[in-house]
């Protein structure tokens, strides 16, 4: 049974979440060996998404409604569901952002995902202590950006482009290896917590992690 299983938009998100977990649980040796990617399926040999499998937020949402997801929850200690809020207003998602605070937006996106898991919420209620949401406003790059750029105010839009500009030693492209390198500072607990304090949606995710595992 995996300690943490990851259901994310893409494999780049999976490795960032993995590095966050390994840094946060600093006293847990070899935690990376107990973290399993669920969606999209990941090929450890090629360090790429498994051939013939699909990622993206729409595939993630579809996966949440499948029996496979429910089986994965039952066979894991914790499942982390990651999604960016930049897609929330898409017609197939349907969460409007106007006049919402970060906390309110995260709450509404979480409720939308819970409904996708189980419209009657019976399964979710039974397993909610095992399900943790990593909802990044408005993209996971906004969690990474403070490593490379110290902004006076929290940045929640255009973070991928900003990361491309500010990362001087690492060329920012969307692949597993690059995002592993970009997020490696999260492996150090003190550095992780310093960065967490600069982004409110990141802080909400960290606050929702179990203190001990």
Distance CA 117, CA 63 (A): 9
Angle value at C-alpha 143, between 125 and 72, nearest 5 degrees? 35
**Contact by Cβ (8 Å): 166, 148:** yes
Tell me, yes or no, whether 78 lies in a domain.
Answer: yes
Tell me, yes or no, whether 143 lies in a domain.
Answer: no
The confidence score (pLDDT) of residue 97 equals 97
Tell me, yes or no, whether 165 lies in a domain.
Answer: no
- Dump pLDDT digits (tens) for 102-134: 999 999 999 999 999 998 889 999 999 999 999
Distance CA 190, CA 177 (A): 23
Tell me, yes or no, whether 91 lies in a domain.
Answer: yes
Residue range(s) defining the domain that contains residue 62: 2-138+175-208
Tell me, yes or no, whether 151 lies in a domain.
Answer: no
Give helix 189-196 / helix 141-148 axis angle, nearest 10°.
110
Tell me, yes or no, whether 166 lies in a domain.
Answer: no
What is the rounded average pLDDT of the residues 162-178?
96
Distance CA 146, CA 189 (A): 15
| Tally of structural domains, the chain | 1
Tell me, yes or no, whether 45 lies in a domain.
Answer: yes
Tokens 């819970």 locate to 114
pTM for this model (two decimals): 0.95
Tell me, yes or no, whether 148 lies in a domain.
Answer: no
């Amino acid at each position: 049974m995996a300690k943490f299983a990851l259901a994310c938009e893409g494999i780049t998100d999976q490795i960032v979440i993995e590095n966050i977990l390994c840094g946060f649980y600093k006293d847990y040796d070899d935690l990376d060996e107990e973290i399993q990617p669920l969606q999209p399926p990941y090929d450890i040999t090629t360090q790429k998404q498994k051939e013939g499998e699909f990622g993206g937020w729409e595939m993630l949402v579809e996966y949440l409604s499948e029996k496979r997801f429910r089986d994965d929850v039952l066979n894991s200690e914790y499942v982390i569901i990651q999604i960016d809020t930049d897609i929330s207003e898409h017609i197939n998602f349907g969460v409007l952002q106007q006049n919402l605070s970060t906390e309110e937006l995260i709450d509404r996106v979480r409720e939308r995902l819970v409904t996708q898991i189980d419209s009657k919420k019976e399964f979710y209620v039974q397993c909610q202590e095992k399900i943790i949401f990593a909802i990044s406003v408005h993209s996971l790059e906004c969690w990474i950006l403070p490593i490379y750029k110290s902004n006076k105010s929290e940045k929640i839009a255009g973070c991928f482009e900003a990361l491309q500009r500010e990362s001087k030693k690492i060329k920012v492209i969307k692949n597993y290896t690059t995002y592993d390198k970009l997020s490696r500072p999260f492996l150090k607990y003190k550095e992780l917590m310093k960065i967490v304090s600069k982004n409110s949606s990141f802080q909400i995710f960290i606050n929702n992690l179990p203190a001990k595992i």
